[in-house]
Amino acid sequence: MSLYRQLWAALALILVIAFVVSFSVSTFSAKRSLTEQIQLKNADNTNALALALTQLADDPIAIELLIAAQFDTGHYEYIRLTDPEGGVIIERIRENANIGVPAWVGEMISFAAPPGVASVQKGWLQLGTLTLASDVKFAYVELWTSTKQLLIYFLLIYVVCGFGGARVLKIVTQPLHSVVDQARALGERRFIQIPEPRTLEFKELVRSMNTLSEKIRSFFEGEAGRLEQLRRDSHLDSLTQTLDRPQFIKQLGKTIHDDQAAALGVISLFRIRGLQKLNRSHGREVADILLKETGATLNRFVDDNPGWAAGRLNGSDFAILSPGAVGAKETAMRIQEALLLKLEALELSDAVDMPMAVYAYKEGDDVSDVLGNVDSAFASAETLGESALEIFIPPPPDNHRHDAEEWRDLLETTFSNGNIELQCYPVVNNAYELVHLESCARITTDGGDPVSARMFMTWVNRLGYGSKLDHAVINNLDTLLAREQAHVSIHLTNQSIADPELIRALMTELGRSPDRAQRVWIEIPEYSCYQHLDNFRLLCDLARPLGSKVGIEHAGLHIEKIGHLHDIGIDFLKIDQSLVRGIDSTPSNQVYLRGLCTIAHSICELVLAEGLHTDAEWETLKTLGVDGGSGVLIDLPLSD
């Protein structure tokens, strides 16, 4: 029962008790007073009438008329004159009449006032006995009227006090609603904090819960910092803070084979030629500064371009992976220009040079072939001397479009005609039960040839069609959900996440069908989540009432920022496949992922792995705390 109902019930009980007590006291006090007054009235009226009758003792007719007149003008139950032997001489009795008082009133309250009795004499001779009783029905009327008034007053007091008390209770318990919201948020793994209320009891409770949330946040930050340092130690080159060779090659393989990554991209390889000579002539400290600044320059490109990766392959060789980069030559020249400017700033242009080679890879390439081709291009660049640039661009695939206008025309036609389909891939838990279907958009050309997301997503982002694509995906959900009787996940583009109004529009459109919304899982790339944290929080707040689940994909590469999620409340997290690949044979990654799963389970229910390839990987991940995953290893039958 709610506090408001309890308030009304308690107030009603109090007023009922007060009414019963007040009714009892007032009624029985009035009864006693009225009984005394009726008794006195009976005695006085009887004596007065008997005296008058004594004066008319010789005139029986006058006596009768006087008694009749007295009976008619007063409120009497009866007047009776009897002879000395008890015989009735004259009698007047009031007939029973309905006076509007319930019968139970008379049964509960009875007036026992004795009638008045007096002798009628003539001289010393007694003519008879006069008995007179007043009519008490009017006393019942008076008591019934006062009782109804009392009841009305109590009802008015009940209503006024009830609404007034409810208003006061609402004000007093206002902090309680915040406490309830905070408790509910804790149950949803959202460790929020609220202002402390003025009410002492609530203040202590809120302070305790805020302290808990703060401890959880501090735990996240501490564990995240420890895991980030572990990741850096195991994945990054300690001097340049770029990926080491094994991790860079893993990232390259993940990018080439990832169904959601761009189909085309660029890998650039360059060497600081003359580094050993610089070390001998200027000292190790200068060489280390050059290496650090080179790594910092490459990492700035990575930070500005989500999905890119930079690595140090050996002492003087570096590589930068640029998935989705449009124009291999332009991309390479921007990178080389930044590096040469850094050499000039360090005044080392005459001491070393940086030959560079670029290879434009495509969907379906093998990692070893990509590395071999870029090595061949680099060998050509070195023969040219100084900071030469060698670019190798293989023939594009048959369905490749060469410029922005071709892609603009195709995408405009696609969104106008609705030529978008959703392909699905199963995501299962550790019991091999379907969790949801991960959808991936593809478009069809006028000729009927499908174009995968890997081919067109780069141009969708480049041309600013992200919101149109997201709306088109949501519009196609009904068909997919009708075909596949399961939950489905969709991916929102960075353009939509960057604009809160687009988020509201997408959630409004999704919420038009409650059944659809409750079966949809929304995935946001980790870099988009942290880049637009307030908008991501807005998305979670809007999706939660709809019943939609929101999670983060490609997670684990920015573990140091996971503490920012402590008060948001995500539903699931998908670990990036670059951390999953070969996990069974990488002890350092195992330690890292075990810690990541521990933290992730504190803020979400499910931790899933992307890109499962082998049973050994999956079995290892199960022991680390992963709840399931997706990839080529998972093979479940889907509807046609």
436-461: pLDDT as tens digits: 999 888 887 766 667 777 777 777 88
Instruction: Show the tokens assigned to 388.
Output: 């030469």
> Does pLDDT of 548 surpass 90?
yes
| Contact call for residues 521 and 488 (beta carbons, < 8 A) | yes
DSSP SS3 for 168: helix
What is the average pLDDT across 504-522? 91
pLDDT in tens, 305-331: 888 899 998 888 899 998 877 677 788
Question: pLDDT tier at 162 (50, 70, 90 boundaries)?
Answer: confident
| Range among 388-397, 481-490, 536-545 with highest mean pLDDT value | 536-545
* pLDDT score recorded for residue 278: 86
Comparing C-alpha atoms, which of 558, 540, 561, 557 is closest to residue 549? 540
What is the average pLDDT across 481-495? 88
* pLDDT score recorded for residue 136: 74
What is the average pLDDT across 461-487? 86
Residue 200: half-sphere exposure toward Cβ, Cα within 13 Å:
0
* pLDDT score recorded for residue 395: 64
Does the global pTM surpass 0.75? no
d(CA 15, CA 12): 5
d(CA 189, CA 597): 14
* pLDDT score recorded for residue 609: 94
* pLDDT score recorded for residue 391: 75
DSSP SS3 for 301: helix
Residue 570: phi and psi, rounded to 5, are -90, 165
Comparing C-alpha atoms, which of 264, 317, 230, 313 is closest to residue 560? 230
DSSP SS3 for 361: strand
* pLDDT score recorded for residue 216: 77
Question: pLDDT tier at 426 (50, 70, 90 boundaries)?
Answer: very high
* pLDDT score recorded for residue 540: 92
* Strands lying side by side in the sheet with 265-271: 309-312, 317-323, 265-271, 356-361, 389-392
Mean pLDDT, the chain, rounded, equals: 82
The DSSP bridge partners found for residue 267 are 321, 359
Give, as one character, the DSSP assignment of residue 1.
-
* pLDDT score recorded for residue 362: 77
Question: pLDDT tier at 8 (50, 70, 90 boundaries)?
Answer: low
* pLDDT score recorded for residue 608: 95
The DSSP bridge partners found for residue 572 are 551, 606
